[in-house]
Structure 1
Amino acid sequence: MRQGDTGGPLVETARAKINLALHVTGRREDGYHLLDSLVVFPDIADRLTLEPANGLELRLEGRFASALDGPCQDNLILKAVRRFADMTGAATDVRLTLEKNLPVASGIGGGSADAAAAIRLMECFTGHTLARRQRLDLSLALGADVPVCLDRKPARMGGIGDRLAPAPAMPAAGIVLVNPLEAVSTPAVFRAMTTRDNPPLPDLPERFADLDALCAYLRDTRNDMQAAAETLCPAITAVIAALTALPEVMFARMSGSGATCFALCATDKETRIADTVAEAHPDWWIAAGRL
């Protein structure tokens, strides 16, 4: 988070949430699925700014602003601000501007990351720092991915998103995100799954010595939603094939419920991979960054 030297708007990035591994381990009686996931946050993000205003306002801009469905007042960012105000008594006289750089309904937690960024901005702007339990209650009320997005650190995420544990430090790595610009419904993917009581993640090491070690660990894990997502969106299969065909790519998989897929590589290779994929598939969304 930063603020201009002249006292300009507060600025926060809302980083994409990438499920390096995602095991579905069960389903509760209320229908919520139980997960065991290794989550990271590369430097590929939406951008949210906050400034004082007369009343609560949200402005949408950026490549994917028009893809946000429904009235602006129903946006998760505004829900986060209102719930924060209810919990703390803070005023909501703020104008928020979202630069929507991440595709919508794409398995990388963009809406959850935006809501988490709004909470962090409100804490800074109002001076009301939430206790850990308050943060968890507020973020879970907004969505299962919001708690991990609020912390924005590599984590092992369990339960319905309410059990978070620090992950081993990630090795230096480049990452490329690719989405064929086809939205995938998370509920539809869950309905298409044939098994929901799968084994959890293997035990995590204390540390990953290097990127080779991380990729070796990931090869023993899964994304239990990927097969179902590919039946609903065959373009995911094409994205994975395009990534794995490149010699610089060390590991590729779908993130979350899709359709965004990621490729891991050495830290000097991500731009070359992104350029190569973009040349062959100019209609796909492609972003390169670092873990």
Structure 2
Amino acid sequence: MTLAEATPVVHVRAPGKINLFMRVGGLEPDGYHDVATAYQAVSLYEDVRAYPAEDISVAFGGSIDTSGLPVDDTNLAIRAARMLAAHAGVDTGVHLAIDKHVPIAGGMGGGSADAAAALVACDALWELGLSKEDLHGFAARLGADVPFSLAGGTAIGTGRGDRLSPALATGSFHWVLAIAEFGISTPAVYSELDRQRGGGAMPGSRRPEVDAAVLQALRAGDPVRLADALHNDLQAATLELAPGLGGILQLGADHGALAGLVSGSGPTVAFLAADADAALELQVALSASRLTAIRAHGPVPGARVLPA
């Protein structure tokens, strides 16, 4: 038996997400915004392997440039591990080896997926036996998108996005993701939205809600109906900060996408295709225009342990 075979390791895979719909409320006194969003987990994954160690550390690899990512206590995966260790009184450490494939600062929740995977991996490695409810509570303390990365599938998020209600989605939806070569700061996008609104007030006085048309299209498994219902309040703000994304949205429309929208705060642009064949044709067309285009489908499960 080799040393590698003798060393226990827990492998957890967590998905990136697309915001199919996002309505943003006004600026609250605490500096945050209430949102109403429809999440869908898609088949672009982060792979986290947890190894026993004397302290808590993280290292990155994968298909994207991770050279700028922090590896100190500001990293969400490190924070997740430290939170569990403190809660359970664990006196050992963990080394988290993360293969990243979800764009960094791309509006697809890659950091949140890392944190969710770290929670699941450390729970398994340290044999804590935490419940789903316990893990969700830790996830909500780490960030608004982390609970959904745990849950996966399709869900409605309210509050900061962390109060989740499962949403029934029939069949599979096919996406082509146009990946930008740059990231966008989420706080900067929200600040621009507030500026566009003249100080952060949401038009009207109602709390944000997800349109019923979104839920109906998901239940029906109908991509055409879902295309008509896609919406993102943050898109205009993101386009103001990165106007070149407007040309990408038009390019997708010109090559057969049913609809396209900026995912979350961007800059990833998600195009909905009619089926798998249409997604392949759209990917080829976008790639021919020298864009990084990736096909994905959803919904897929949330963070889960894979067989060794």
Distance 1:42 1:232 in 2: 26
**Other structure's SS at 1:44 match:** strand
**Other structure's SS at 2:216 match:** coil
* Runs of 4 or more above 6 Å deviation: 4-7
- Residue 297 of structure 2 corresponds to which residue in structure 1? 290
Are residues 1:197 and 2:202 paired? Answer: yes
1:285 partner letter:
T
After superposition, the Cα gap between the structure-2 partners of 1:70 and 1:268, relative to the gap in structure 1 and judged at 3 Å, is: same
Distance 1:217 1:206 in 2: 5
Instruction: Report the TM-score when normalising by structure 1.
Output: 0.88
Deviates more, 1:201-210 or 1:17-26: 201-210
Distance 1:37 1:238 in 2: 25
Which of 198, 211, 234 in structure 1 is aligned with 2:222?
211
**Other structure's SS at 2:267 match:** coil
**Other structure's SS at 1:34 match:** strand
Are residues 1:233 and 2:242 paired? Answer: yes
Q: Report which of the two has the higher share of strand.
A: 2
- Residue 262 of structure 2 corresponds to which residue in structure 1? 254
Q: Tell me, which stretches of 5 or more residues in structure 2 are unaligned?
A: 299-308
Contact map agreement 2:14 2:150 (CA 8 A) in 1: no
2:297 partner letter:
R
Contact map agreement 1:34 1:159 (CA 8 A) in 2: yes
- Residue 271 of structure 1 corresponds to which residue in structure 2? 280
1:255-287 deviation line (CA, Å, top 9, x unaligned): 000000111220233233222211212xx3321
1:189-212 deviation line (CA, Å, top 9, x unaligned): 111112352552212339522333
2:81 partner letter:
V
Higher relative contact order (CA 8 A, sep 6+): 2
Which of 280, 284, 289 in structure 2 is aligned with 1:280?
289
Query: What's the Cα RMSD here?
Result: 2.3
- Residue 253 of structure 2 corresponds to which residue in structure 1? 244
After superposition, the Cα gap between the structure-2 partners of 1:173 and 1:217, relative to the gap in structure 1 and judged at 3 Å, is: closer
1:110 partner letter:
G
Distance 2:216 2:233 in 1: 21
Instruction: Report the TM-score when normalising by structure 2.
Output: 0.84
Contact map agreement 2:169 2:221 (CA 8 A) in 1: no
Equivalenced residue count is 283
Q: Tell me, which stretches of 5 or more residues in structure 1 are unaligned?
A: none
